[in-house]
Amino acid sequence: MSLLLELFRFVQRICVHWGALVTGGFFIAALDIYQGTGHPLQHWVSWTVAGICAFLAVFLTWREQEQKIATLAARIQVLESPASSALGSHPEREPTKPNVQCLGVEVGDGTAKICFRNVETPGKPVGDFRGARLKVEYFLDSSGEEVATVFPARWIGYDQDAIAIDFVPRCAVLAVQIDIGWCALSTTEIPSENSEAGWKWNVERTALPAARLRIKATLIGENNLSILPVVGVLELCENGNAKFEDG
């Protein structure tokens, strides 16, 4: 069926070219003028012209197909060339990565807090550090004995145990002095009948001794993404004062 269709299209193109040849062009126009001025043409002249036009129509149809094939081959060659592949390739955009840095530990008014901030990198896209949770481990500086591990530490000004760290500093509690003495704060979820979500955030207290405590604070984000732990010595005093030493 396809062969007959192709043959029909081929003959159709021949007829189109033949019709254009026998009805137009300088030579045909000259014959029409010659015949129109009272000079009759012999039958063999008309048949010869029709035959020549038929031959030319077949040639033009063949040339038309050859030109299409040549054009298509040239396009394929350009697309397959290395230069075209390089120009046409679209490398994946570099995924944004956070650049979180610790701004240090601030102490005062019976509170010790550690602060983080996402820092812009010149010439590179920077993404948020999402789902940030802080794990803080406390050890006695004198003996190395573990005192407590708090996870996740409570972010100041946020009830959630996980936030997104962007270009605004975010701080978490390392230690705070209340009526019972120094303690660390952590945030957990507890069931709640009064909440639409069925739970609410609860702040838990973990007692800390008034002593020199070596701490290790690890910031953890989505997919367990983390930065290098912040280590140092946090000295907690009975009178509510505190000091922090890096390393």
Q: What is the pLDDT of residues 59-104, one digit of tens each?
A: 888 887 777 777 777 667 666 665 545 545 544 555 677 888 899 9
pLDDT tens by residue, 190-241: 776 666 666 677 888 999 999 999 999 999 988 777 778 999 999 999 888 9
Range of 25's domain?
Answer: 2-88
Domain boundary among 88, 111, 136: 88
With respect to residue 227, please indicate whether it lies within any of the assigned structural domains. Answer: yes
Q: Using pLDDT thresholds of 50, 70 and 90, give the confidence band for residue 28.
A: low
Question: How far is the C-alpha of 78 from the C-alpha of 6, rounded, in Å?
Answer: 28
- My answer on whether 227 and 142 are in the same domain is yes
Name the pLDDT band for 136 (thresholds 50, 70, 90): very high
Q: Kindly report the average pLDDT of the chain as a whole number.
A: 80
How far CA 43 is from CA of 39, 48, 49, 61, in Å, comes to 13, 9, 10, 27
**Could you give the 3-state DSSP secondary structure of residue 168?**
coil
Tell me, yes or no, whether 15 and 121 share the same domain.
no
Give the chain's domain count.
Answer: 2
Helix (H, G, I), strand (E, B) or coil at 95: coil
The strand pairing partners of 102, in sequence order, are 116
Per-residue three-class SS string for 194-242: CCCCCEEEEEEEEECCCCEEEEEEEEECHHHCECCCEEEEEEECCCCCE
Regarding whether 240 and 162 lie in a shared domain, the answer is yes
CATH number of the CATH domain containing 128: 2.60.40
3-state secondary structure of 124: coil
CA Rg value for the chain: 43
| Average confidence (pLDDT) over 127-151 | 92
Confidence of residue 38 (pLDDT cuts 50, 70, 90): low
CB distance 13 to 64 below 8 Å = yes
Burial annotation 126-155 (CB, 10 A radius, 16+ → b, else e): bebbebbbbbbbbbebeeeeebbebebbbb
Query: pLDDT grade, residue 141 (50/70/90)?
Result: very high
Of 34, 64, 88, the domain-final residue: 88
In a domain, 6, yes or no: yes
For residues 174 and 232, the answer to whether their CB atoms sit within 8 Å is no
Does a structural domain hold residue 95? no
In this structure, the answer to whether residues 148 and 125 fall within a common structural domain is yes
Separation between Cα atoms, residue 181 and residue 139, nearest integer Å: 17
